[in-house]
Amino acid sequence: MTTVTTGPPDPSTAAARLEASGVTVRFGGLVALEGVDITVPAGAMVGLVGPNGAGKSTLFAVLSGLLRPDAGRVRMGGEDVTRASAAARARRGLARTFQRPELFSGLTVREHVVLADRVRRRGGRILRDLVTGGGFRRPSAAEDGRVAAIIESLHLEELRDREVSGLSLGACRLVEVARALATGPDVLLLDEPASGLDGRETAELAATLTRVNAEHGVSLLLVEHDVELVLGMCETVNVLDFGTVLRTGPPEEIRSDPAVRAAYLGAEQPPGTAREAAPDTDPEKERR
């Protein structure tokens, strides 16, 4: 008799949703990353922290497909995507948010989610609408249902019909998460989602992301300056320092690790301290 197993995949045996192995990136003579390994299993919440200049943004760019590593591999679900573009990775189930939300100021919250849902389900139809004058067609009942469910799961109902240009930074971050979810991702990369938020907004964001992970089964990789947020949310935390992975482990181990403390003390920012996001001096960084 055949045994049928149900339930979520066992992360110890299933291929990781996203995995970097041996990733090295050099900028001229500067080694920004050297032999970095990081794994995001199915359904997991994984954190990536490290002092300023540790290599977090560089690794984010490698994982999202904006930067080719000099050595090493990136895999999604076991498949090599090292040479795949950001768009190709998105089609395979990778979504991301931006440190400075990248939204369309004239569209409402709901319209953002509708558009993302359409891109996922009927990509070509959107182009046809544009050339035939179809414009922003009224959502179908099925679209309405899917979009309403996502808006509800992020508790954005009250803001549903507001244009995003008038929303707070915290709300815009949630709209980005909602839009990302509408594309049906396996993995969501979050680029410093708490930067610029106050304590209350950060706590709300943490609760929302935890719920999104549980309800939608999407794996999260949180790249963040706010170490306390990451230690409070993620089951596995990776600490980068000078371009290498200093430690990978559960929050309680990371919190008490002398090497991690030393790395942060060297930067005068011990773990548990919400680090100020350094001003981004290079707006082109993401487009390298």
Ligand X SMILES: Nc1ncnc2c1ncn2[C@@H]1O[C@H](COP(=O)(O)OP(=O)(O)OP(=O)(O)O)[C@@H](O)[C@H]1O
Tokens of 14: 């299933």
CB environment 243-282: b (16+ within 10 A), e (fewer): bbbbbbeebeebbebeebeebbeeeebebeebbeeeeeee
Q: Shortest gap between Cβ of 55 and ligand X (angstroms)?
A: 4
Min dist CB 108 to ligand X, Å, is 32
Supply φ then ψ for residue 265, to 5 degrees. Answer: -65, -35
- CA separation, residue 175 to residues 117, 150, 160, 216 (Å): 13, 10, 10, 16
Per CB under 6 A, which region of 46-54, 139-147, 202-210, 261-269 contacts ligand X?
46-54
CB of 116 to ligand X, least distance (A): 27
The stretch near ligand X (CB under 6 A) out of 45-53, 182-190, 226-234, 259-267 is 45-53
Q: Which residue has the tokens 């544009």?
A: 130
Window of 7-15, 50-58, 73-81, 200-208 that interacts with ligand X by CB under 6 A:
50-58
Q: Which is nearer to ligand X, 11 or 53 (CB)?
A: 53
| Of positions 47, 55, 72, 251, contacts ligand X by CB under 6 A | 55
Task: Tell me the residue type at 166.
Answer: G
Q: With binding defined as CB under 6 A, does residue 57 bind ligand X? A: yes
By CB under 6 A, is residue 96 in contact with ligand X? no
Which residue in 23, 44, 54, 234 binds ligand X (CB under 6 A)? 54
CA distance 179 to 191: 15
Give the nearest distance from C-beta 142 to ligand X in angstroms.
41
Alpha carbon distance 97, 175 (integer Å): 10
Residues that bind ligand X (CB under 6 A): 27, 30, 32, 50, 52-58, 278, 285, 288
